[in-house]
Amino acid sequence: MYVNTATYHHPTPWDATFEDLTLPELLARSVERNPVAPFLHFLGRTYSYAEIQAEAKSFAAGLIAMGVERGDRIGLFLPNVPIYASAYYGAMMAGAVVVNFSPLYTVEELSWQVADSGTKILVTLDVPELYDTAAQVLENSELETLVVGRLSDMLPWAKGTALKLLKRSQIANVAWSENTLRWSDMLKPWPEGEDTLDEREALALLQYTGGTTGRPKGAMLGHSQLTQNAQQVASINSFEDPTKEVFMGALPFFHVFANTALLNHAVASGGSIAMVPRFEAGQVLKTIEKYRTTGFPGVPTMFQALLDHPKLTKTDLSSLKVCISGGAPMPGPVHDRFEEVTGVRVVEGYGLTESAGVVSANPYEGVRKKGTIGQLVPGTEIVLLDKEDPTKLAPEGEPGELAIHGPQVMRGYWQRPETDADVFVERGNKRYLRTGDVAEMDEDGFLKIVDRIKDMIAVGGFKVFPSVVEDAILKHEAIKEALVIGVPDEYRGEVPRAYVTLIDPEADIGADALRGWLNDRIGKHERVDQVVIRSDLPKTIIGKLDRKALRAEVL
C-alpha cells in the first residue's frame, strides 16, 4: 500500500532511501563531524562523541584480547549510564552481537535469556539490585564472565566521591575474581590502524520480545536495520539544525524504542542526550530545565507522571519543541491535558521490536491527527491483511492486520526459523512483517490501530507476556488453572489481571494472599492488580482455556 505523496507531511519524501552503514560507522561520522561535540550528559558530567568512541574502542580491544570472536553474544544488563553506550558500540566494533536485558528482570528471567541467546559475557553495574541478580546468574548458568562498572566513576568528581563515602549502602559488595572483572580492567589500547567492524550485513543486536504463547523470542536486528531506522527517525525531524538537538533520555536504552529513537537517532543526527538512570518525574523536570532539552521521546505513563508532579508548572519547558509518545496508546485525556498545561506539542508514533523500533509517527509540525499513530516514516510500506486469512488483503475500506515492509524490518527470530511462516508474508517480491495489530488508514495516509490480534499486554510501554505470568502463578500449590489478561488502567494504559481456579474450591486461601505471593515472584512491570478466584474459566470447544472469551466477558 503506497501513501498519497500529496498529503504526506513529513519533511523527507516518503520514497527516500537511506545509507547502509554499521553502527560503528554511524558513530565515526559524528566523531569526524565534531569530536568535541557533547554526546551524553549524565548527572552533571558531559561526555563528548570522541570520549565515548575512544572508550568503546578500548572495550572492543579488551573483548578481542579475551578471545571474543565475531558473532559472539555480549549482554548488557544496565540502566541508562554512560558505559551503556561504550559497551554497546564497543561490542559491535569487536564484531560481537549485543543482547539487551532489562534491569527489571528476575534471576529466572535473566538466566533463561542468557541461556537462549548464548551470552557469555555480561556487563552490569555495581548497584545491589543489578549486581546481586547478575552474580546469581553467573553462578548458576553458562555465563562465563561478569564485567562490572562502578557508578561513582561515571559521575562528576564531587558526586562520585560523595557516593563512595556517604552512600555505601547504594554500592554492591562485588566479589572480584577471575570471572568478575572491573570495567576499567577491560579497557585495552585499540591497535593503531585497526579497523572496526565494517560488515554491514552482520548481526548487531538480539532484542527479546514475546508472543501469545511460550517464552520471549530474540528479534535479530542487523547493523543495516538499526542504522537505517535511525536515519528514518532523523529524517522526520523538521527543525533547523539537528546537531543542536538535546534529547531527554528518560526512556531506558535497553528498550528498542529508546535504542533507536534516542541512542542511535542522536548518533545519526549528531545531537546529544541528557540522560537519567531511570525515570523519576522530579529528576526529569530538573534535567529538562538544566540542559534545555528540545525533544522528549517517552511512553504515556511518563507524561501522566509529569502531570501529577507538583513542580511541572514551575519548570521552564520553553526549550521543548516536541514530545513523542510511543510504546502504548496515549489516552486522549492525558494527551489533551499535557498539551494544555505545558504548551508542548505531543505526537504519537508506533513501532515494535521486530521493526527495529519505529514504523510511523505524526509530523512534528503542521498537520497531525490525535488518536492516530501518524504517517509512515520514509522508506516504509504497509499492507492491511485479511484478519482471518493473512494470505489475502483486507476488503477495500475495512481494517486489516498491519504488515510492514522496509529496511528496518528484522531478519527473523533467533534460533526459531520455524516462526518465519507465522510472522512474515510474501506479496510479490517483497516480504512483509505481520504485526498482529489491526489498523486502518485514512485518505491522508494516517494510520490508526483499532484492535490487536496478539495477546501481549502493554504496561506503560513495556510488553508483558500473559503466559509468563500464568506460568508463575501455576507454581502455587493451590492453583488449578490460570488466565492473565490486560485490563484498562488510567496511569499505565493496561495492567495484568489474573483469573484462576483452585484445585480445592473450599481451600482457605484469599485472593489478596495469592496476589502478594505471585507479585513477589515476577518482574515489577508484570505484577497483577488483582487475582480473581473463579469457579471456572472459559474454554474452547476442544477444552483449551480461552483467553479471548475471558477478555470479551470481562471487558
Distance CA 496, CA 25 (A): 41
Quote the distance between the C-alpha of residue 25 and its chain's center: 23
d(CA 454, CA 85): 32
- Global pTM? 0.85
Architecture of domain 24-199: 3-Layer(aba) Sandwich (3.40)
pLDDT of the residue at 540? 63
Q: Which CATH architecture has domain 457-554?
A: 2-Layer Sandwich (3.30)
pLDDT digits (tens, 9 = 90+) for 207-237: 998 543 457 899 999 999 999 999 999 999 9
Q: What is the pLDDT of residue 466?
A: 83
Give me the percent of the chain exceeding a pLDDT of 70: 95
pLDDT in tens, 387-430: 889 999 999 988 899 999 999 999 999 999 999 989 999 998 99
Alpha helix positions (H), 428-531? 466-473, 511-519
pLDDT in tens, 276-321: 999 999 999 999 999 999 999 998 888 988 999 999 999 999 999 9
What's the CA gap between 14 and 20, in Å, rounded?
18
pLDDT of residue 212: 36
The pLDDT assigned to 543 comes to 52
Q: Is the pLDDT of residue 196 over 70?
A: no
Strands (E), 49-110: 73-76, 97-100
H or E segment to which residue 223 belongs: helix 223-235
Q: Domain extents for the chain?
A: 24-199, 457-554
